[in-house]
Amino acid sequence: MGLIQNGKWVDQWYDTKNSGGEFRRQDSRFRGWLTADGEPSADNNGQALKSSFKAEKGRYHLYVSLACPWAHRTLIFRELKNLQDYIDVTIVEPVMLENGWEVSDPLYDVKFMYQLYLKADSQYEGRVTVPVLWDKKTETIVSNESAEIIRMFNSAFNHLTGNTDDYYPAERQASINAINDVVYHKINNGVYRSGFATTQYAYETAYNELFEALDDVEERLSKQRYLVGKQLTEADWRLFTTLIRFDAVYFGHFKTNKKLIADYPAISGYMRELYQIPGVSDTVNFDHIKTHYYASHLTINPTGIIPLGPEQNLNLAHGREYLPATV
């Protein structure tokens, strides 16, 4: 764990002293946008983006951790949108200690991700995270914001791949954005707010919000196939990467132990359905997931011992066919 300060790497855990023990995630700093023609587009607020990049085969490189739920989203979209031959991938090492994410980099032979951040911007200050979408042509970071990378992958390469599957359809964007906001704060980031809390109050607040949100999702998914109805959207994939890690890691490691995902009939079936979609299971690596959390977060798990369980059969029938879905 650490961050870049004054051009140098500093090994430092998250500071919660000024937030009442609450973990607060740093906003992503690289926010360029990849488009079909390379022309600048507008963000969700209608503001022109600072930089725009053209979708081209072989131009971009994706750095991910198989353990990280945020990076996992981008790997899933790379599969769903048939981008395997268009965007290369480098997987960082699962254990992240005093030097941050370690990497065997095929482009510049750097050993740590913070070196790549400084190559992109020598003045960069802050946390070093994955995913990173790198432009080999201009030798810089396009984006390190997973929510935006998946939207780029959703449409920017359509004219090259012929894959027009749309996980952020215009007519459902308001509904998708609304559920994304709840899922991000209370579930995606909620597990981290529970696990990284340093006061009882901060922990209990995050814990209660998390399970209230999971109860709401369970009720929703008992009545409809996906989060916004009959159609599978980005909202489902953003939730999935937290769900798939929950029983193996968050339940014990982050003390979110009121219920397992296996205890929610609708959510667990829904999670298995998404896992069983072709290509998705190839992006799930429980060895990396458990190794990263238990062997990296020594503030939480000082011994670094990695649990052997749990046993999960994610290929069991999901039983969701009775709910209508749009193909």
Spatial separation of the C-alpha atoms in residues 57 and 71, rounded to whole Å:
21
**Residue pair 261/271 in contact by the 8 Å Cβ criterion:** yes
Single out the residue of 137, 65, 142, 139 nearest to residue 108, CA to CA: 139
Return d(Cα 153, Cα 216) in angstroms, integer.
29
Q: Are strands 87-91 and 60-64 parallel, antiparallel or unpaired?
A: parallel
Q: Count CB atoms within 10 A of the CB of residue 271.
A: 25
Phi/psi class of residue 7: alpha, beta or left (left: φ > 0; alpha: ψ in -120 to 50)?
left
User: Cis bond leading into 131, ω under 30°?
Assistant: yes
Q: Are 197 and 23 in contact (CB under 8 A)?
A: yes
Q: Cite the active site residues.
A: 68, 192
* 119 within 8 A of 132, measured Cβ to Cβ: no
What are the distances in angstroms from CA 27 to CA 117, 220, 252?
A: 15, 29, 27
